[in-house]
Amino acid sequence: MRWQKARQKCKGLGVSLWKKLLHLLLSHVLRLSYPIFQEDTVISPSLSHHTSVHGLTAQFSRYGLKAIYVAFIHIVLLGHVSSLLDDTRYENSELEESAGYYVSSSSMGNRFTGLDEMDEDAWTMVQKSGNQFIVNGQPFYVNGFNTYWLMVFAVDQSTRGKVSEVFQQASAVGLSVCRTWAFNDGQWRALQTSPSVYDEDVFKALDFVVSEAQKYKIRLILSLVNNWEAYGGKSQYVKWGKAAGLNLTSDDDFFSHPTLKSYYKAHVHTVLNRVNTITNITYKDDPTIFAWELMNEPRCESDPSGNKLQAWIEEMAFYVKSIDPKHLVEIGLEGFYGPSTPNKVQYNPNTYAQQVGTDFIRNHQVLGIDFASVHIYPDSWISQSISDAHVEFTKSWMQAHIDDAENFLSMPVVFSEFGVSTKDPGYNATYRDTLISTVYKTLLNSTKKGGSGGGSLLWQLFPEGTDYMDDGYAVVLSKSSSTSNIISLQSTRLKSFNSLCSWRCRWGCKRKHALENFHYHDEL
């Protein structure tokens, strides 16, 4: 029955698709049956991507059906026929991308792979469907990291290699998204030296960061300005405004003064329309970019009602989408509950959190905001002294936001910063591993249920030799084997889930059926 249904699905797809199927079949005979041919002739597996169908057929005419049968059965087991015989709404190029996702060839055999072996054409935009991220119609759960200084390091040739190094190490443990700064305002190695004036060398460094991320199949969340003074931030915009003769009294004027807002919009316009000097792809068209972040950890303490910040989010989300409707947009919030949900403030880490002008649910209900962002820093918000209470807070904080993202916002939530400082009293590596495991396990519980937990980004990943940049939260994978193993295991689980769900759903099943058979270990 399955083959009859598959045959019906394929009816009318045209000769070109069957040629692709035949090409795929024969190319896998080369890959899988390489030992069969060793006795008689030498055929390079690399030929499978460069040889015509007729040429391949001639090569195999003397070997009968044995090799073809073996290859065909292997293709079925790996899901290639499932991908190729999909619904006709998939274009032929997309079918080829699906077929190439699971297996890559080597002269010694086959291995399961992920994004690192995808065809270039398969590198498409991340989108949102309800409370889930998707890529090419498949679920996409984020296991990622922060490394904010990539652009600055890429300016100097002596440190540029660290950018490649951190991407390589992240890719090795399966991390798929990196959050970094697309700003440096008026300071050392500034990208924007004054309003709308840019250092081209620094912009080329950002180009390099984006191109290297693409090379390692890591997507980027690019933040567009800082709330804090580091790398300029809103205070630098206020300084520029004062230098231009504006009457400004607070750094929070950044959110309301028309001139300062025009400075920010000009920066957004410049970055989104930047043509990468290495890839020749405009940023707003580049699928390497996962999302735009309006601001890193916005706060507007001068207006605890939240109205000033709310108006700014509404205006800027609309502006970003007017230039780039393709990419996802998020705010960059820490996740504090505000005046619009007094019944939720109990989840805040302290009473001060509801007075900083942010409002998690209200802010994320803005048109143009695609997913929620939350940070997790119990050692900064509750107490620097490490305790079990930090772990319990992390669980309740995450669950509250996952539930609200699903029930009130109908969008994914990404825990875009979390970590613990090695400078905290009572810190030890075991506690850090426990905190990371807690975050991962909470997300897996959401994933298993089809919830809004979209993923997490560890703060922060460092390569060796960058200790002088460490704020206490640096994770050097080469020096932290236990942490590295935990991260790698989470990546493996999420990729396995994505593949399982994709395989099952392509045969018409409901997503929940795939979830019924998705298992993971209780302990990390």
Region of residue 401 (left: phi > 0; alpha: psi -120 to 50; beta: else) = alpha
**Beta strands 132-135; 453-459: pairing state:** unpaired
Polymer length in residues for the chain: 524
**Catalytic site residue 91?**
no
- CA 445, CA 451: separation in Å to the nearest integer? 8
Q: Is 297 a catalytic residue?
A: yes
Token pair in block for residue 298: 């916005």
| Residue appearing with tokens 């880490």 | 349
The three-class DSSP label of residue 467 is helix
Could you give the CA distance from residue 191 to residue 182 in angstroms, rounded to a whole number? 8
Report whether 426 contacts 404 (CB < 8 A).
no
CB 248 within 8 Å of CB 242: yes
Tokens read off for 392? 């319990």
DSSP class of 406? I
Q: Which of 96, 165, 212, 297 is catalytic?
A: 297
Query: CB neighbours (10 Å) of residue 449?
Result: 13
d(CA 94, CA 13): 14
How far CA 156 is from CA of 161, 468, 488, in Å, comes to 9, 16, 31
| Catalytic site positions | 297, 417
